[in-house]
Amino acid sequence: MNATQLKSLLPTPAWEAISGNSEGQERDQPMTTEPCADAAPFSAASFPFVWSLDRSSDVGRALLAATRRLREAGSDTPQLDGAVLMAHVLGVSKTWLYAHPTRKLTEVEISRYETLVRRRMCHEPVAYLVGYKSFFGLDITVDRQVLIPRPETELLVERVLSYVKYLIREGHTPRIADVGAGSGAIAVALAVNAPQAFIYAIDISEDALAVAARNVWRYGLSEQVQLLPGNLLEPLPEPVDVVVANLPYVAAAALPGLPRQIRDYEPALALDGGTDGLATFGAFFDALASPAGRAKIQPGGRIYLEIGLQQGPAVRALAARALPEADIEVQVDYAGLDRIVVIEV
Q: How far is the C-alpha of 113 from the C-alpha of 110, rounded, in Å?
A: 5
At 51 the pLDDT is 84
Least confident range from 3-17, 175-189, 231-245: namely: 3-17
How many Cβ atoms from other residues are within 10 Å of residue 246's Cβ?
24
* Residue 97, pLDDT above cutoff 50: yes
Q: Burial letters for 175-203: b for 16+ Cβ neighbours within 10 Å, e otherwise? A: bbbbbbbbbbbbbbbbbbbbeebbbbbbb
At 136 the pLDDT is 97
Cα Rg of the chain, angstroms: 23
Say if residue 177 is in the same domain as residue 64: no
Q: Indicate the pLDDT class of residue 26, thresholds 50, 70 and 90.
A: low
**pLDDT (tens digit per residue) in 125-162:** 999 999 999 999 999 999 999 999 999 999 999 999 99
- What percentage of the chain carries pLDDT values higher than 70? 86
How many Cβ atoms from other residues are within 10 Å of residue 303's Cβ?
24
At 184 the pLDDT is 98
Q: What is the pTM of this model?
A: 0.87
- pLDDT, greater one: 25 or 44: 25
At 20 the pLDDT is 37
Say if residue 190 is in the same domain as residue 317: yes
For residue 52, give its domain range.
Answer: 3-124
Q: Indicate the pLDDT class of residue 13, thresholds 50, 70 and 90.
A: very low
Say if residue 189 is in the same domain as residue 109: no
At 275 the pLDDT is 95
- pLDDT, greater one: 188 or 7: 188
Say if residue 110 is in the same domain as residue 144: no
Say if residue 78 is in the same domain as residue 154: no
Give yes or no for a contact between 238 and 175, defined as CB atoms under 8 angstroms apart: yes
Q: What is the mean pLDDT of residues 104-129?
A: 96
Backbone angles phi, psi at 170, to 5 degrees: -85, 5
Say if residue 300 is in the same domain as residue 225: yes
* Whole-Å CA distances, 58 to 37, 101, 109, 112, 175: 29, 7, 10, 14, 52
CATH code of the domain containing 221: 3.40.50.150
* Residue 3, pLDDT above cutoff 80: no
The residue from 81, 108, 124 where one domain ends is 124
Say if residue 193 is in the same domain as residue 69: no
Q: Indicate the pLDDT class of residue 34, thresholds 50, 70 and 90.
A: very low
Say if residue 118 is in the same domain as residue 163: no
At 4 the pLDDT is 47
**What SS3 state is found at 338?**
strand
How many Cβ atoms from other residues are within 10 Å of residue 166's Cβ?
11
Say if residue 240 is in the same domain as residue 153: yes
Q: Indicate the pLDDT class of residue 104, thresholds 50, 70 and 90.
A: very high
Say if residue 116 is in the same domain as residue 186: no
**Strand runs (DSSP E) across 80-125, as ranges?**
none
The residue from 124, 158, 173 where one domain ends is 124
Split into its structural domains, the chain has a count of: 2
Pairing state of beta strands 175-179 and 198-203?
A: parallel
The residue from 99, 124, 149 where one domain ends is 124
**pLDDT (tens digit per residue) in 196-248:** 999 999 999 999 999 999 999 999 999 999 999 999 999 999 999 999 999 99
Average pLDDT taken over every residue of the chain:
89
Give yes or no for a contact between 5 and 83, defined as CB atoms under 8 angstroms apart: no
* Residue 23, pLDDT above cutoff 60: no
Say if residue 153 is in the same domain as residue 99: no
Say if residue 172 is in the same domain as residue 195: yes
Provide CB contacts within 8 A for 192, sequence distance 6+.
138, 219, 221
Q: Residue 148 carries which DSSP code?
A: P
